[in-house]
């Protein structure tokens, strides 16, 4: 449960929170590594879109990163839900995924798309630029 400006014992005041939506351990690690050099960034990982929407109902992250591999047809639905919610409509959504999903993700409203495979040199500037 989140109390005041804390999450999991960490104070959010003055920090940026990155929400990672991914059920793939490698994708989680890549995003965490890309933002790890900034000590003012906290990372929260959830494995599903349902959990992401529940989390963002009470806490607004600074950035949402979605790994598209686990979403198949409902990736666009998740992006649209995030972009239509009052609490997250202005939060940048970056999607990581295959080239084939790029057009649908952008049409649904994602702010940036990083194609897989990628290296940290590709991902880090995109994420830092959105923070």
What is the model's pTM? Answer: 0.86
Q: Within a domain: residue 86?
A: yes
Q: Could you tell me where the DSSP H helices lie in 36-119?
A: 49-58, 75-84, 102-108
CA distances from 16 to 10, 44, 50, 76, 85 (A): 11, 11, 22, 25, 20
Q: Within a domain: residue 1?
A: no
CATH number for the domain spanning 92: value is 3.40.50.2300
Q: Within a domain: residue 67?
A: yes
3-state secondary structure of 79: helix
Q: Within a domain: residue 105?
A: yes
Q: Within a domain: residue 33?
A: yes
Name 61's Cβ contacts closer than 8 Å, sequence gap at least 6: 17, 18, 19, 44, 88, 91
Largest CA distance in the chain: 41
**For the chain, how many structural domains are there in total?**
1
Q: Within a domain: residue 25?
A: yes
pLDDT of residue 39: 56
pLDDT of residue 10: 47
CA–CA gap between residue 41 and residue 131 (Å, rounded): 9
Give the domain extent around 34.
6-130
**Residue 86 CB burial class (10 angstroms; 0-12, 13-18, ≥19):** exposed
pLDDT of residue 5: 40
What is the chain's pLDDT, residue by residue, as a tens digit (131 residues)? 233 344 454 455 567 899 999 988 888 888 888 877 655 788 899 999 999 999 999 999 999 999 988 776 689 999 999 999 999 999 999 999 999 889 999 999 999 999 988 877 788 888 888 98
pLDDT of residue 1: 28
Q: Within a domain: residue 107?
A: yes
């Amino acid at each position: 449960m989140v109390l005041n400006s804390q999450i999991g014992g960490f104070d959010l005041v003055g920090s940026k929170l990155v929400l990672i939506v991914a059920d793939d351990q490698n994708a989680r690690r890549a995003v965490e590594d890309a933002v790890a050099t900034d000590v003012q960034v906290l990372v929260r990982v959830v494995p599903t879109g349902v959990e992401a929407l529940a989390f963002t109902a009470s806490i607004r992250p600074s950035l949402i990163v979605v790994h598209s591999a686990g979403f198949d047809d409902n990736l666009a639905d998740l992006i649209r839900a995030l972009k239509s919610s009052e609490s997250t409509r202005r939060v940048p959504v970056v999607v990581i995924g295959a080239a084939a999903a790029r057009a649908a993700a952008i049409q649904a409203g994602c702010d940036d798309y990083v194609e897989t495979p990628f290296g940290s040199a590709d991902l880090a500037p995109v994420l830092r630029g959105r923070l």
